[in-house]
A and B are shown apart, each in its own frame.
Chain A
Amino acid sequence: MTFRKIALAFLIIILGASCAHAKTKEPKYGQARQLTAEQAALVQKAVAREKVLIKAIKLRTPLVETYIQNTKPDLKLYAVPISDMYILSRVDFGKAFTDKPFEARSAKASDSKSGGKHNFFTGSFATMAGLSKALGLEKFTYQPNGFMQMMFIDPSGFDTQHYAFSFVRPEFLGAVRTWVYDVHPKVPGLGRFYGRVWIEDEDGNVVRFNGTYTGPTNSEDNSKYYFHFDSWRMNVQPGIWLPVAVYVEETERQEGNKTVGLKAQTHFWGYSLKLPTRESENVSVKVDDAVDKSDDSQDVSPLQASRIWVTQAENNVVDRLVEAGLVAPLNQGGYENKVLDQIVINLVVPNNLAFSDQLHTRVLLTDTIEATTVGNTILISKGLIDTLPNEVSIASVVAMELAHVAMGHHIDTRYAFNDRLLFPDESTFKRINMYHTDHDDADAAKKALEYLQNSMYKDQLPTAGLYYAQLVERGKVLKGLTTPKLGDSLLKPDGTAWMAELQKMAPKLNWDDLTQSPALPLGSWLKTDPWDDKVHMLNAKRYAPMNARDKMPFEVTPIFYKLQRYDVTRLDTPTAAATAAPATVVPPATAAPAGDQPAADQPAGGQPAGGQPAGDQPTADQPANTTPGAAGQSNPPADQPAAGDTNTTQQQPPASTPNPQ
């Protein structure tokens, strides 16, 4: 009996001591400064607007794309990527804030060394990997939901009862005046925001917040990670500010004995997804004066019928992809028409390619490096375009896709039946196979080289080759970025480039050679309108790299937006003149192979001149042609054509569109 009493007393003491100790674990923050009545009123407004935002956002199911690069310290480049992860999901705000990931497509035959056949061992490994994941045995795993939820300050408890506010200063973010507050939780708990918020001073919307969430107070529980992040919102519609992007960075995280870092970007779009419309299907045209011309209708030959059938499949697939938020809706006069279509013409005309149907170019909205064709439509991913440094490198990608079209590597016509496209958006990668076989890719690469040799780009091919050299080098570690979701990789299964011939023409990669600009950071060229998914060119100043670190090929960079209030008078323009400005992206003009001719590296212009220089007529939403100034900075007026740019030589390709060089 005595023994039992001692044991029980021991237990009670232990539990009591633990309780007493646990009570002292309160988070420690600086003293909150007293707010004036006006400052407090704006905070109250922000709290109310945040609740409205969360209610409004629950009605939508945007896409969320998170791309993470793990980095390690590097003496020369400060930090270099060592691995990556790409996640595309659709946000489900139904019951809780969760994400539904897009299912990966089934393996292409060349994706596995076993030739796509799953033998016992590969199946077993996959099962074991799945089991390990289910049991939580994987050493370190990113949780996409955690990145997605960085769109909120606190989805259920952002108010003055739970948070203390200290006014810092007023500040302009672009054209929007904001009041800046430091915020920290008043109560302990996991996942509460602390950091800084920017509240716009008209309606009290939080337009930016920057900080992190409270982690476990118990130092021993190191299994949960909250990272530092910078979350941005945009005025996408009158009175509506919605989350658009988050930048995450942890430069020195200890993992065992290793110092590792991470950089990530999360983007949201597809807030207002709707069915695409086609001009030819516009049934609301005036029919009062219509005349029955059925007698004039021509018969359709078998070949023509086959082509129409392919076109039907093509239209179905493209429409489905637009509906799923994976392809940008066609923006008449936008990037696709002004740049990509012009490059197509620059290749088609000198090669005498006679297509019976018009070729189209569209932008896949993913950050992955991929391209493909659907019938006569060339699809190039946003990530690929963003990292291509100049027009000739874009042309090299377009040439390969053009070859696919010309060689008849058409889309599977089963998609001409609409029922095959009735599936949840998250199954798109699995249900639509848009990649080509390795054999087709090899043929297309050969043919593409011919097209390029016959085109106006023939003298600049070594510049394009640099891109492939850099892609091969970074592709070894950036598997997530270089693995296509829908289309074709630019790399063979063995890691070499399909356009290896171009790579051979290129000089050796040299980080110290600042005239070399093999590839740009992600987000260098295009921005996606989060409301309607259209893509637009960045309207940003371009900077030349001042050292090897400024090159950042294929890397994730911080995000910064110059916010604007929604302008109801410009309904056809982007909702906010947001400018994702990679810190330093642009190589100097001397990167052009032909010498100091910046125009040589510019994407083509808006004139369908078939290889004719289109003059230097940058469009309003595109950065003008630039020549680095004395300080390595080019400063074209944002909306002003660089018509007088004397550095643009007449022998160069069309130069009406932006140039990162």
Chain B
Amino acid sequence: MLNYFLRIRKIVVPLISIVLAAGSLSARAQVVPAAAKSQFSVTVGALASAFQPDYDAAYNGKVVEASPFRLYGVGTYVDVKFSRWVQIEGEARWLRYNQFDQIHQDNYLIGPRIPIQRLRFWRATPYGKVLVGYAKMDLGYAYVPNVGFVFLGNGGFTDIAMGGGVDFKLTKRISARGDFEYQYYPKFIENTHLIPYGASVGVGYKIF
């Protein structure tokens, strides 16, 4: 599991670096502007997600194997944009479909998101994000010798998510989103970590 995290770090760290570098480059101006318009906006949207839960219940007392099945689910998100660089995203996701041994995950996350303005093209704005929050998980069944299958119950875990994606502006108010996210449960059962990851697509509506 640690190896897993180390591998994704190679991607996440450069991603965050690009975001920060792009931000600092864009912020520099020879002369400051004479006026500024507020960019405050609130966008709400719905997501459809496919995630690899990175968990296959416990087998013979051993926890964690990659699940043979991907979990599918739906979610909702809220983007609050204070300025070009100060934005907050909150998302809730319920991965309930295509369950294996009744394993499913719910995420409730919030955190900053940074659009990479320098990399905008056409109507698309790439972004990066780091969210933290809570993950609720049904752990499914484990096979216990001489006992048979035992339901392991459910648990709540701290969830850190890093990812990015692209927002496509379809109209003045409607946008589409493609999003990829690595999640990290630093304290999963039996002192292990869990690294679910997955992708989502969604549609958002800018309320104001």
| Chain A positions 171 through 197: 1 when the CB is less than 8 Å from some CB of chain B, otherwise 0 | 000000000000000000111110000
* Prevailing SS type, chain B contact patch: mixed
Q: A511 an interface residue at 8 Å Cβ cutoff?
A: no
Find residues 17-46 in chain B having any chain A CB closer than 8 Å to their own CB. Answer: 18, 26, 28-40
Least distance between A1 CB and chain B CB atoms (Å):
8
Least distance between B73 CB and chain A CB atoms (Å):
15
Q: B9 an interface residue at 8 Å Cβ cutoff?
A: no
Which residues of A lie under 8 Å from residue B118 when comparing CB positions? Answer: 18, 22
| Contact pick for B121, options A1, A18, A226, CB 8 Å | A18
Which residues of B lie under 8 Å from residue A139 when comparing CB positions? Answer: 37-38
Contact of A155 with B126 in the complex, beta carbons under 8 Å: no
Contact of A191 with B126 in the complex, beta carbons under 8 Å: no
| Contact pick for A4, options B32, B33, B52, CB 8 Å | B52
- Segment of A145-153, A328-336, A572-580 engaged in the interface with chain B: A145-153
Contact of B40 with A137 in the complex, beta carbons under 8 Å: yes
Residue in B closest to A66 when the chains form the complex, CB atoms: B34
Report if A226-B83 is in contact (Cβ < 8 Å); known contacts: A3-B50, A220-B120. no
| Contact pick for B38, options A17, A137, A156, A157, CB 8 Å | A137
Docked CA distance A231–B125 (Å) = 37
Contact of B50 with A191 in the complex, beta carbons under 8 Å: no
Docked CA distance A141–B151 (Å) = 60
Docked CA distance A138–B82 (Å) = 10
| Chain B positions 139 through 165: 1 when the CB is less than 8 Å from some CB of chain A, otherwise 0 | 000000000000000000000000011
Contact of A18 with B119 in the complex, beta carbons under 8 Å: yes
Contact of B120 with A14 in the complex, beta carbons under 8 Å: no
| Contact pick for A18, options B11, B120, B178, CB 8 Å | B120
Contact of A17 with B121 in the complex, beta carbons under 8 Å: yes
Residue in B closest to A229 when the chains form the complex, CB atoms: B34
Docked CA distance A143–B32 (Å) = 8
- Segment of A5-13, A309-317, A474-482, A553-561 engaged in the interface with chain B: A5-13
Docked CA distance A139–B31 (Å) = 22
| Contact pick for B37, options A193, A215, A222, CB 8 Å | A222
Docked CA distance A384–B56 (Å) = 81
Which residues of B lie under 8 Å from residue A3 when comparing CB positions? Answer: 50, 52, 70, 198-199
Q: A291 an interface residue at 8 Å Cβ cutoff?
A: no
Q: A115 an interface residue at 8 Å Cβ cutoff?
A: no
Interface residues on A, range: 35 or more
| Contact pick for B83, options A22, A223, A248, CB 8 Å | A223
| Contact pick for B119, options A19, A142, A192, CB 8 Å | A19
Q: B99 an interface residue at 8 Å Cβ cutoff?
A: no
| Chain A positions 20 through 64: 1 when the CB is less than 8 Å from some CB of chain B, otherwise 0 | 011000000000000000000000000000000000000000000
| Contact pick for A140, options B37, B66, B124, B125, CB 8 Å | B37
Q: B205 an interface residue at 8 Å Cβ cutoff?
A: no
Docked CA distance A150–B26 (Å) = 21
Docked CA distance A146–B32 (Å) = 5
List 14 additional A-B contacts (Cβ < 8 Å) besides A136-B36, A192-B31, A224-B35.
Answer: A10-B199, A14-B178, A15-B126, A19-B119, A140-B38, A143-B32, A146-B33, A147-B34, A190-B30, A191-B29, A193-B30, A215-B33, A225-B34, A225-B36
Query: Top 10 closest A-B pairs, CB basis?
Result: A18-B119, A146-B34, A191-B29, A21-B121, A190-B29, A191-B31, A191-B30, A225-B35, A224-B33, A149-B31
